[in-house]
Chain A
Amino acid sequence: MSNPGFLDIISFGPDGWGHALAVGAWMTILIALAGFAIGSVIGTFGAWAKISGGRFVRMLADAYTTVLRGIPDLLVIYLFYFGGSAVVTAVGQFFGAEGFVSFPGFVAGALAVGVTSGAQQTEVFRGAFRAVHPGELEAATACGMGRVLKFRRITAPLTLRHALPGLGNVWQVVLKESALVSVTGVVELLRQAQIGAGSTSLPFDFYFIAAMIYLAISTVSGLFLNASERWFSRGVRRG
């Protein structure tokens, strides 16, 4: 395949890269989803720590969000990738394995994306909780709801509704951040484009297609997020 045209590249035929790029795009979405989910769990606990934690826990959560929002994401990915490999190698040597054992890039990437987006989601959830009217929480207590029931029926749904726009922004950031995971060798969209660029010497075509696919994913998820925002705010009266 010396010089394929633009359409040959995106075709799904035997000589086309369409299939490979689609698989790469799917991988990108998986990394972003996994990272976002990990970040949601961290964000929930982080917000909880900041809102109702003791002094020490609050300080810890503050340090976490300050540090993670102040250092480059790429550095965090390196930390998890090389750090994970070091741990796995140490464990391997303990059990008698020899040489370097590499940590799966997908796990390292998802963890790194999760930890960085967790810092952002902590702030999103905290702000959203602040937006919940205290009267609504008081009313739940007055109805005799227990802590868990109150959280499940009142606090969580109301906080989520206020958090939705912020979470949408975090999702867009996570999606773009997932491109950095390509440095660990995971064959996601950007890495696949790199491979294609290398073997056809048509770098512009491949990176351009990758850019367009990213644009499509973020546009579609943006539409989806807008629709869900409208759906979950249907009980809100507009001024």
Chain B
Amino acid sequence: MDIAFATETLVSLLSALPLTLELAVTAIALGAVLAVALALARLSGILVLNWFARLYVFVFRGTPLLVQIFLIYYGLSQFGAVRHSIFWPVLREPYWCAVLALLLNTAAYASEIIRGGLLSVPHGQVEAARACGMPRFMIFRRIVMPLAIRQALPGYGNEMIAMVKATSLASIITLMEITGVAAKIISETYRVIEVFVVAGAIYLAINFLLTRLIAFVEYQLSPHQRQPLPVSGRLKGETH
């Protein structure tokens, strides 16, 4: 392996890192909002909302992400109504099409994870909150949501990692994020191994940091499962 070439590759790939992170963060953040809405629709008990959410999840989990990206980026431009609408400046940009596809896709997977978390909240906890006189929204904000987030976090972590990996598909619609730059360097130099190793290492590093971060948040959110800190020192007035 040629160290000088690998270093050069690393520099060009790192310059594409911000775009990869931006895509992932935007899609995950916006996707989370939609995911909560979909999960609540599933659990709302309103038939129309429930079936809409079911259909949404079925379609977006059953088709490849790349097809969804193509459908949004190439497909929507087929309609004159879209081209002449106020959304066109946004939908014309490959960046926003990629973000839109990624967020719609992750929302489908994440809504199932969040639904599982919401369902796992023990009924007694809600009852206790109600007995304390909390109104509905406060119960949701103070009791249900924190418990559900704690339960859903491991699954959500996996979904976030999947999203970081999925940003690579944006390269197919001309965005020069890490995989896009890597493919360009490979097709110019035909030095596959070096580029692959460097690009792979960057993704691994991102995902490693992400897992650490999620583990840290999980630790912070579960003080009740930790061993109590050992009491050190003698109590006042204690004699031996």
- A residues at B contact (CB < 8 Å): 66-67, 70-75, 78-79, 82-83, 86, 175-180, 182-183, 190, 193-194, 197, 201-205, 207-208, 210-211, 214-215, 218-219
Contacts and interface: CB of A to CB of B under 8 A. Distances in A.
A86 B194 CA distance: 13
B215 interface: no
Q: Most chain-A Cβ atoms within 10 A of its Cβ — which of B70, B79, B182, B200?
A: B70
A66 B201 CA distance: 12
B65 A176 contact: yes
A207 B192 contact: no
Chain B interface residue number, banded: 35 or more
B55 to A, nearest CB: 11
- Dominant SS among interface residues on chain A: helix
B64 A190 contact: yes
B168 A74 contact: yes
B180 to A, nearest CB: 10
Contacts of A193: 67, 70
A82 B70 contact: no
Given A82-B187, A178-B64, A215-B58, 8 more contacts: A67-B200, A72-B166, A75-B168, A176-B63, A202-B78, A204-B74, A204-B76, A211-B71
A51 B60 CA distance: 36
14 contacts: A71-B203, A74-B168, A75-B199, A75-B200, A78-B192, A176-B63, A178-B64, A190-B66, A201-B78, A203-B74, A203-B78, A211-B59, A211-B67, A214-B64
Interface of B: 58-59, 62-68, 70-71, 74-79, 161, 165-169, 171-172, 179, 182-183, 186-187, 190, 192-193, 196, 199-200, 203-204, 207-208
B171 A210 contact: no
Contacts of B68: 211
A176 B105 CA distance: 13
A83 B196 CA distance: 10
Contacts of A219: 62
A66 B166 CA distance: 17
B203 A182 contact: no
Nearest 10 CB-CB pairings of A with B: A72-B168, A204-B75, A179-B64, A203-B74, A176-B64, A83-B192, A204-B78, A72-B165, A207-B71, A215-B62
B62 A82 contact: no
Nearest to A28: B64
A207 B62 contact: no
A228 to B, nearest CB: 19
B57 to A, nearest CB: 12
Q: Most chain-B Cβ atoms within 10 A of its Cβ — which of A178, A183, A193, A211?
A: A211
Q: Most chain-A Cβ atoms within 10 A of its Cβ — which of B74, B171, B182, B208?
A: B74
Contacts of A86: 190, 192
A88 B183 CA distance: 19
A75 B203 CA distance: 10
A70 B196 contact: no
A207 B182 contact: no
B70 A207 contact: yes
A197 B203 contact: no
A74 B67 contact: no
Contacts of B77: 203
A79 B196 contact: yes
B34 to A, nearest CB: 19
A81 to B, nearest CB: 9
Contacts of A204: 71, 74-76, 78-79
A215 B59 contact: yes
A190 B59 CA distance: 16
A190 B70 contact: yes
B204 A205 contact: no
Contacts of B161: 70
A71 B165 contact: yes
Given A190-B66, A190-B67, A82 B75 contact: no
Given A70-B203, A75-B200, A82-B192, A215 B66 contact: no
A83 B193 contact: yes
A75 B185 CA distance: 13
